[in-house]
Structure formats: structure tokens, C-alpha cells
Amino acid sequence: MSIPIEQLLLVISLLLFISILAGKTSYRLGIPTLLLFLLIGMLAGSEGLGRIPFDDPGTAKAIGIIALNYILFSGGFDTSWKSIRPVIGKGVMLSTFGVVFTALLVALPVWHFTSFSFLESLLLGAIVSSTDAAAVFSILRSKSVSLKGQLRPTLELESGSNDPMAYFLTVSLISIIQAPDKTLLSIIPLFFLQFSIGAVMGFGLGKLGQLVINRIKLDYEGLYPVLALALVILTFSATQFLNGNGFLAVYICGVFLGNRELIHKKSLIKFFDGIAWLMQIILFLTLGLLVYPSQMIPLIIPGVLISLFLIFFARPVAVMLSLSVFKMHMRDRLFISWVGLRGAVPIVFATYPTLIGLEKAQIIFNLVFFITIISVIVQGTSLPLVSKLLRVALPHKLRRRTPADIELSDTVKSELIEVDIEEDSPAAGKKIVDLGFPKTALIVMIKRHNKFLTPNGNTFIYPGDKLMVLAETSDSLSKALELVCPFPSTEPN
């Protein structure tokens, strides 16, 4: 059925408008925005109130690829290399071996208890193996929850870099299913080839992008974001053309550019933040439209069982195995295990089997959608509570600030936090010079009796003061906080 362009634009604009308003409401209530966007799409779909006919996995896949590119680039562009460098090993292990372990652990019970073949079961596991940190941090922000130590950069790095691995496994398993003469071992050299090309192309095109952006001297500032938009798609498509992993290249390109000096960098950061939100809304709405709720009813029991197995067994075991070589507090490991929210990426990847006509493609898609919904409901709504129970959340009196919040320069140090000094603070009654602050951290301002003081080494700190602490790294921030806040560190001795 052909829809006039005017009606189509009206429907799209209304859906976007409703989604943004719903997202603001969900942010205040602590409800994951992903869930609301998907539900709005379902309500607007052919079996919902809107009755919009949409049954085109190919279009959904195309929208998904474009959206994921900009979401990944935005995530990388906003990532501080100084923050993730200390946790690079943990992040890489989680985003590679963690993804593989999750896929295998999910596949085993599905293979044993259902009519799926082992490869089909492994494909389902691969599709649901990646996580979505955007949903995690939006929930934590809505409840004013900040994380201690190196948890945040670890989760950011894992979520930004595990999508390429899940994509690789999904595409590779589909090719093996289509060509029975191939074996699982055949994907090992392909992995090294694709990820090597992806890494080289990401760094190379990131460097090229930096040179072009800084030297091209465009007449209109508004053209720089357009140039960056083109760079993202160029990075993905050129890497894919060379048989590399395009998603990995886009993420690395984003991280590279985000940690370099660029003309109009602040406006680019804000622009891509808005683009990432727009892409998420469009993506979630599209995937919601693609779902037929009536087809999911027969899958309620297996969907719930697989979801619970993934949440309470597969994800925790995969995390424990991946991080077993690192010295970490058990509370940190458990929280990372719980922060395994499935997002839009698995649903996008679930459209791939449909496009090749796989026999159980529709069942896989509906199961993945169901698993995502359960994950968001169970894990998403409980994140603030779990963070407090595991004592990995900073006390409420600590309010983390970012450079973007206070419009500092692009070269500002990476960690900024506001601290309330209580009666039992170890810093109360002491001079700043006597605290023994790390060299890479300093108190830049003190608010006392509604007045702002610029401190020096001889300034005394008193109960009731509010300190603005600026630190170069998360490590130095944690050490500084130990000197002014009476709460235990989550790092092991």
C-alpha cells in the first residue's frame, strides 16, 4: 500500500515527537528509554493502535547499519583515552572472549532443549552477545548514580567495542550455515584479517579526518559536522569493501578523533550527541514497527527461560572467565556481570537471518526481541539498587561533573567532581597542603556559606564546605576522594 509523502512525513514527525517526550518522562522515572521507544514503535505498528504496515527486514537492516555507525562513532568520539587506557586489557577481554563465551553458553541449553541445530543455537547466542551501555548510563544518570573506581570506563570500552565482535560472529555463522562445507575453525583466520583491517582503517581514516577537518578551512562552520558525517560512512564502507570490520573501524576512528585537537570540537561533540539520540530513536521505532506481538505469544516460556539463563548464568560466567586474569574486587566483577543489558544491536543483527531465508529466522528474531525486553526490564530497572547493594556507587553527596557540563575548554582534565565535606571527613579541619593530594588532582574551588573561595595550600577545609575536585585520571580522582570522603574504596589492596 502506497502512502502519500505528506502522510508519511506526518507520521514520522509525530513518532519522533512522542518518543522525545516519552524519553524525557522515562529519564525522570528511571525507566529505560529503549523500552519506551520500542513500545511506541509496536503501538504504531500493524498490530497496534497506529496500524502502520511495515514488514521489511531489509529496510530495517539498512536503517540499523546507518544508525549503529553513528551511535558507535559518537560513543568513541566522547570517550577519553586517558580514562580507558588503564582498563584497555579488561575491555578487550570482555569485548572479545566475553562475547564468545556468552554466545557459547547461551547456545548449549538452546541446542539441548529445542529443535535448533548447534549452529542455529550458536547464531542466536552470537546475536544476543553484545551489550548496550547507553541504556545503562542513562538509567544511572536519571537516578544520580555515579560509579567508583574504573567501572565506568571499563563498561564504556566494553560496550563500544563488543558490537564489532558480535557482528563478526553473526555474519560468520550465517555464512557457515549457508555453506555446510565450512567449519567453525575457518572463521579464526577471518577474525584476525577483519579486525586487523578494521583497526588499521580506523586509525588511518581517523588521522586523515583530523588533517582534513583542521586544514580544509570551510567558509561555514555548519559544514564541519556534515564533513564528519561523511567521514563516518566513508570509514565503514571503505573498510567493508576491503573485507575488514567496518563497525570496529568506525569506533576506533571516533576514539582517535575524540582525543585529538580539532577545529570546532565542542560543537562536533554536541552535534554527534544529538545525532546519536536521533539514530537511537529512529532505530528503536523501526524495530518496534517490525515486531508482530501475536507471533511472540507462543515464545513466552522459552523466551523467559533463555533470558533468565542469559542474565543469571551466561553473562556472569562469561565475565568471570574473561576477567579471571585481572586483579579486581569481587563487587566490581558482579556489577559488570549485572550490567549486561541487551539493546538495539541484537535486534538489528536478528534481521540478518531473515534476509537469507533461514528456516528459523522469524523465531530467532522474536526470541531476540523478547530477550531484549526482559533484559531491559529486569536489569535496567534494578541497576541503581544493585549498584548500592554492591557498594560500587559513589555516595549521593558526590556529584560527578564533566567538562561538557560546565563548558570548559577542549583540553580540560578528564575528571571533575563536587564533594560535600561532612563532620567525619578525614579532611575536616586540615589545610589543603597537609592532605597529601596526588600531583594530578587539585581542589579548584570551595563553596562556603554561599560564597566561592579560590583555595591555596594554606586554606583550611571545614565541615559544610563543598569542594570542586579536578583530576587528570579516574585513578588520581579515586586517591583524592579517599583523602576527603569517609567511604571505602572498591579497589583491591
| Sheet-wide strand order for 399-401 | 399-401, 415-420, 466-471, 441-448, 451-453
pLDDT band at 403 (very low <50, low <70, confident <90, very high): very low
Question: What confidence score (pLDDT) does residue 166 get?
Answer: 92
pLDDT band at 31 (very low <50, low <70, confident <90, very high): low
In what helix (H) or strand (E) does residue 391 lie, and over which residues does it extend?
none
High-pLDDT (> 70) share of the chain, %: 88
What is the dihedral angle through the alpha carbons of 68, 74, 76, 82, rounded to the nearest 10 degrees?
-160
Instruction: Average the pLDDT over each of 28-42, 58-72, 379-393 and give the range with the smallest value.
Output: 28-42
High-pLDDT (> 90) share of the chain, %: 32
Question: What confidence score (pLDDT) does residue 206 get?
Answer: 95
User: Cβ atoms within 10 A of the Cβ of 53, count?
Assistant: 11
| Counts of helices then strands in the chain (DSSP H, E) | 23, 5
Question: What confidence score (pLDDT) does residue 314 get?
Answer: 95
Ordered by where they begin, the domains of the chain are: 5-389 (1.20.1530.20), 399-484 (3.30.70.1450)
- In the predicted model, is pLDDT for residue 174 greater than 80? yes
CA distances from 148 to 155, 409, 481 (A): 12, 25, 10
CA distances from 282 to 17, 107, 288, 469 (A): 11, 30, 10, 39
- DSSP string over 167-211: HHHHHHHHHHHH-TT--GGGHHHHHHHHHHHHHHHHHHHHHHHHH
pLDDT digits (tens, 9 = 90+) for 352-372: 998 888 888 889 998 998 898
pLDDT band at 279 (very low <50, low <70, confident <90, very high): confident
pLDDT digits (tens, 9 = 90+) for 433-470: 888 888 888 888 898 888 888 888 889 999 989 888 88
Are β-strands 466-471 and 441-448 bridged in parallel, bridged antiparallel, or unpaired? antiparallel
- Do the Cβ atoms of 251 and 311 come closer than 8 Å? no
Question: What confidence score (pLDDT) does residue 210 get?
Answer: 93
- pTM, to two decimals: 0.77
- In the predicted model, is pLDDT for residue 490 greater than 70? no
Question: What confidence score (pLDDT) does residue 478 get?
Answer: 78
Question: What confidence score (pLDDT) does residue 379 get?
Answer: 84
Burial class (CB in 10 A: 0-12, 13-18, 19+), 120: buried
- The more confidently predicted of residues 146 and 153 is 153
Instruction: Average the pLDDT over each of 80-84, 123-127, 204-208, 486-490 and give the range with the smallest value.
Output: 486-490
Question: What confidence score (pLDDT) does residue 408 get?
Answer: 46
- Compute CA 220 distance to the chain's CA centroid, rounded to the nearest angstrom: 32
- Do the Cβ atoms of 105 and 125 come closer than 8 Å? yes
pLDDT digits (tens, 9 = 90+) for 36-88: 777 888 888 878 777 777 878 888 889 989 999 998 898 888 888 888 888 89
pLDDT band at 397 (very low <50, low <70, confident <90, very high): low
pLDDT band at 90 (very low <50, low <70, confident <90, very high): very high
